[in-house]
Structure 1
Amino acid sequence: MSDNKQYAWRTQLIYFINDPVTHPHDCVRHHTDGLLIVQNGQIVAAGDYHQTQHLLHHDALLQLLPNNIIMPGLIDTHIHYPQTDIIASPAEGLLPWLETYTFPAESRFSDPELAAEVSKVFLDELLRNGTTTASVYGSVHVSSVDALFNESHARNLRMIAGKVMMDRNCPEYLQDTAESGARDSEALIQRWHGKGRQSYALTPRFAPTSTPEQLGACGELAKHYPDVYLQTHVAENKDEIAWVSELFPNNRSYLDVYDSYGLLRPRSIYGHSIWLDETDRLRMHDTGSVAAHCPTSNLFLASGLFDFQSMQDNQVMHTLATDVGGGTSFSMLRTMNEAHKVARLKGYHLSALSMFYLATLGAARALELDTQIGNLESGKEADFIILDPACTPLMERRMQGVNSLEELLFLFAILGDDRAIKATYSAGVCVHQRNA
């Protein structure tokens, strides 16, 4: 938005300023009669209407939404866009699922036209579900990443993405080499990282599909480009872990494989992180690495249960993610639903405040994007969603009995899905409107 006009919304505002676990009494800002003011794609102010209205210009365009809620856009830290068309595919487990569905589907992304078409569908689904930022896996093909970034850049979305690096233990038609994977990744970094709101992520798929040479080349790129992201998988499945121990017999653990190549660092995102031990978790904390919890995928593939308590005890940064297409929904609200259940099965109570923190400011902090996105503070990019508490007859009825902010957010987390997202805004522009 570059017309210098102010746009404003008068409605209920909810956003976080701290982690509810560490700051239980000063973690959230809740304005029941709030005002959000946006200008040139950035937030001018967010606060109580009567204390903030003096900042409105005389010609500001003000929308009154008395029965809605504005929150920051949701952030998904682990998702595969080439798997959009194989979501909800049956398999006996992770490795058979990869062989039967994932690899054949990803082979199609050598076609730039297909990649461009799926990119549109993928981003539409994210926005329909209120996700304004995601850390995205492409396929092994450079064209897949170019297609996604082209579409994201055209829509002015803040996205992170990378080309999968994979030079062994996969079909030959999907293999790169240590040299070509590094060369292509570097070219993509130079083309896209920091262009508009796009960021690049080095993306070795997982240790079994990369040779030591490829992991070493990835480590060199990570050292040379310290501000790019790195995303991969770790400790998702016991069969996978056994395979890694055979391929890398001299490493202490699956995570240690990555560590030995210099791949643990700030801005590194490790999908799943289920079967870690104390030493692994301490190492993740010490290096500033991030664990992305993917509950719908972990339950769908019976991979295991994420240990929230141990992550908290070791102060490991962790986030929530959909992991589509192993994950079964693009909705971060449905992801919260399953995360709450996973936590309960491990004896941990994951509050609604924590779930929404992890999907907004918590994720922004983990990605080192909290100066740009994550809440509604002045100066942040105006990525936000409008929630509808009456999106279904049951939600509307159930909301009448709400007595606290925790109960309100818990209803969205447990009963909510894409229907709860009335509208999604990116840099102050409406990029999705329900029933438009």
Structure 2
Amino acid sequence: MSPDTQRTVVRGRFLDIAQTVTDPSLIADQIRLTEDGLLISENGKITWFGNWQDGQSQLTDEDHIEYYPDQLIVPGFIDTHIHFPQTEMVGAYGEQLLEWLNTYTFPTEMQFSDKEYASQIAQFFVQELLKNGTTTALVFCTVHLESVDALFEAAEQHQMRLIAGKVMMDRHAPDALTDTAESAYHDSKALIEKWHGKGRNLYAITPRFAPTSTEEQLTRAGQLKAEYPDVYVHTHLSENHNEIAWVKELFPEQKGYLDVYHHYGLTGERSVFAHCVHLEEHEWDCMHTTDSAIAFCPTSNLFLGSGLFPLKKTWDRQVKVGLGTDIGAGTSFCQLQTLNEAYKVQQLQGDRLSAFESLYHATLGGARALSLDHQLGNFNPGKEADFVVLNLKPTALQQLRQQRTRNIEDALFALFTMGDDRNIQATYIYGNKAYEQSIT
């Protein structure tokens, strides 16, 4: 082993999902519970994973073993839709989507032309992700280049895998937040060249949503995607009935909301559309055939009164889906809280969301939605060593509940129902401990 090798050795109880699935009934067969396990990573990548007894031959005299005998270790949580500039406006009262943007979001985002201010919020934002066990996120910035630089700089300090981009918005927004088709193209191109593939940073072409981009700007966005086919597209789709009606007024030549994006070349393997609460049947077909993905954002959909997302349909129609907190219309950075609300959204539609399916969406399924399941989402050797150490009993009530659990599935369901950031004992990024809960 080279003296420059960064090696991490962790022993404990591990839970992950061995491989990507296409049917929720198959998830239980892929659950991998390793009661006394060993994970070894070198330079950020998992080099060995398995039972402690089998792995002792892999250890050296110099290894420091980080041992978590009473905790549960799972892959890092993946957030497929979140707005870092909206961190300070979580819980803004009383509006639905379009009114909420004008009343709260746009005034807040104007502040991010100031690099110092953007950096301050970016640092806070990254710490909140780590505190909540989120190790990868797909992130909206603002129209300002400074906001993108600030976020990637904050993520780089932890070697954190973030996907982010500058908002493109050339109409139906305050002058202080609008660009032009040309400036959005050139600014985005410069940011792609600067950040995409640098370390673990990845770039997303980011039109806010169809109503705030002209046909010219969407054409330029599609041009960027054609020129840089390995970058992402990140935008909103079919969140709210009034929004959908507005899109149909603005783009009468297209047959629907998703067709606007598809027409301009913005669907595809690395295209992620947030919400998709009210998709029409032909739009489900397009999502499937283009291999586009959905970010399901239950706390946001409930908070803004947008509607109930049909999660079961993503399996039926074979459409990739991940979880999004959607801060700041969403109400928590925590994927445990997000899964709590996701369960209730499905209950209201007469469907069930099992604990194992919840774990899948928060980890390996989220990685698949981002076309990163070859790099993230479980403990298979060769993948990046992002994982979370969970304390299942941080409160008296959770301790009492966990004493009554019958098996790992029951324990997991209780965690997803009752858990919050107090359950996150430690977060590891690329093999390094990036966060540890302080003991008070």
**Do Structure 1 and Structure 2 share a fold, with TM-score over 0.5?**
yes
Task: Give the match for residue 155 of structure 2.
Answer: 152
Aligned: 1:43 with 2:46 = yes
1:126 is paired with a residue of what secondary structure? helix
C-alpha contact 1:6 1:61 (8 A) present in aligned 2 = no
Aligned counterparts, 1:132-211, within 5 A? 132-211=135-214
Name the amino acid aligned to 2:250: L
Task: Give the match for residue 8 of structure 1.
Answer: 9
Task: Give the match for residue 56 of structure 1.
Answer: 59
CA distance in 2, matches of 1:2, 1:368: 34
Task: Give the match for residue 423 of structure 1.
Answer: 426
C-alpha contact 1:159 1:197 (8 A) present in aligned 2 = yes
The partner residue of 1:248 within 238, 246, 251 is 251
How many residues are aligned here?
436
CA distance in 2, matches of 1:26, 1:45: 22
Instruction: Compute the displacement of 1:345 (Å).
Output: 0.9
Name the amino acid aligned to 1:173: A
Task: Give the match for residue 116 of structure 1.
Answer: 119
Aligned counterparts, 1:287-302, within 5 A? 287-302=290-305
Aligned counterparts, 1:216-231, within 5 A? 216-231=219-234
Instruction: Compute the displacement of 1:380 (Å).
Output: 1.2
The partner residue of 1:93 within 88, 96, 99 is 96
CA distance in 2, matches of 1:17, 1:260: 37
C-alpha contact 2:8 2:432 (8 A) present in aligned 1 = no
C-alpha contact 2:180 2:217 (8 A) present in aligned 1 = yes
CA gap 1:111/1:242 in 2 versus in 1, 3 angstroms: same
1:337 is paired with a residue of what secondary structure? helix
Task: Give the match for residue 82 of structure 1.
Answer: 85
C-alpha contact 1:292 1:318 (8 A) present in aligned 2 = yes
Name the amino acid aligned to 2:320: M
C-alpha contact 1:2 1:40 (8 A) present in aligned 2 = no
C-alpha contact 1:6 1:56 (8 A) present in aligned 2 = no
Instruction: Compute the displacement of 1:2 (Å).
Output: 8.1
Task: Give the match for residue 325 of structure 2.
Answer: 322
C-alpha contact 1:170 1:209 (8 A) present in aligned 2 = yes
1:66 is paired with a residue of what secondary structure? strand
Name the amino acid aligned to 2:99: P
CA distance in 2, matches of 1:224, 1:2: 41
Instruction: Compute the displacement of 1:22 (Å).
Output: 5.0
TM-score, with structure 2 as normaliser:
0.97
Structure 1 unaligned spans of 5+: none
CA gap 1:331/1:2 in 2 versus in 1, 3 angstroms: farther
CA distance in 2, matches of 1:411, 1:139: 37
CA distance in 2, matches of 1:384, 1:284: 30
Out of 233-242 and 13-22, give the one that drifted further. 13-22
Aligned: 1:380 with 2:362 = no
Out of 400-409 and 384-393, give the one that drifted further. 400-409
Task: Give the match for residue 343 of structure 1.
Answer: 346
Out of 316-325 and 9-18, give the one that drifted further. 9-18
Name the amino acid aligned to 2:83: H
Task: Give the match for residue 363 of structure 1.
Answer: 366
Instruction: Compute the displacement of 1:5 (Å).
Output: 5.4
C-alpha contact 1:2 1:41 (8 A) present in aligned 2 = no
Out of 204-213 and 89-98, give the one that drifted further. 89-98
CA distance in 2, matches of 1:347, 1:184: 46
C-alpha contact 1:5 1:60 (8 A) present in aligned 2 = no
Task: Give the match for residue 215 of structure 1.
Answer: 218
Instruction: Compute the displacement of 1:180 (Å).
Output: 0.3
The partner residue of 1:33 within 32, 36, 47 is 36
Name the amino acid aligned to 2:13: Q
1:26 is paired with a residue of what secondary structure? helix
CA distance in 1, matches of 2:169, 2:399: 48
Deviations 1:371-408 (A, max 9, x none): 22111111111111100012111111211111122111
CA distance in 2, matches of 1:225, 1:55: 41
Q: Percent identity at matched positions? A: 49
CA gap 1:121/1:46 in 2 versus in 1, 3 angstroms: same
Task: Give the match for residue 310 of structure 1.
Answer: 313
2:157 is paired with a residue of what secondary structure? helix
C-alpha contact 1:13 1:47 (8 A) present in aligned 2 = no
Task: Give the match for residue 65 of structure 1.
Answer: 68
CA distance in 2, matches of 1:2, 1:114: 40
C-alpha contact 1:106 1:139 (8 A) present in aligned 2 = yes
Out of 291-300 and 151-160, give the one that drifted further. 151-160
The partner residue of 2:415 within 406, 412, 416 is 412
CA distance in 1, matches of 2:3, 2:363: 25
1:264 is paired with a residue of what secondary structure? coil
2:24 is paired with a residue of what secondary structure? coil
C-alpha contact 1:6 1:59 (8 A) present in aligned 2 = no
2:163 is paired with a residue of what secondary structure? strand
C-alpha contact 1:424 1:431 (8 A) present in aligned 2 = yes
TM-score, with structure 1 as normaliser:
0.98
CA distance in 1, matches of 2:322, 2:82: 13
CA distance in 2, matches of 1:325, 1:269: 18
1:23 is paired with a residue of what secondary structure? helix
1:90 is paired with a residue of what secondary structure? coil
Deviations 1:6-59 (A, max 9, x none): 432221000112336152452211011111222222212222211222211222
CA distance in 2, matches of 1:170, 1:260: 23
Name the amino acid aligned to 1:196: G
Deviations 1:166-220 (A, max 9, x none): 0000111110000000110000000000000000000000000000100011011
Name the amino acid aligned to 1:81: F
CA distance in 1, matches of 2:25, 2:183: 45
Task: Give the match for residue 392 of structure 2.
Answer: 389
1:379 is paired with a residue of what secondary structure? coil
The partner residue of 2:261 within 250, 258, 262 is 258
Deviations 1:98-129 (A, max 9, x none): 00110000000000000000000000000000
Out of 34-43 and 415-424, give the one that drifted further. 34-43
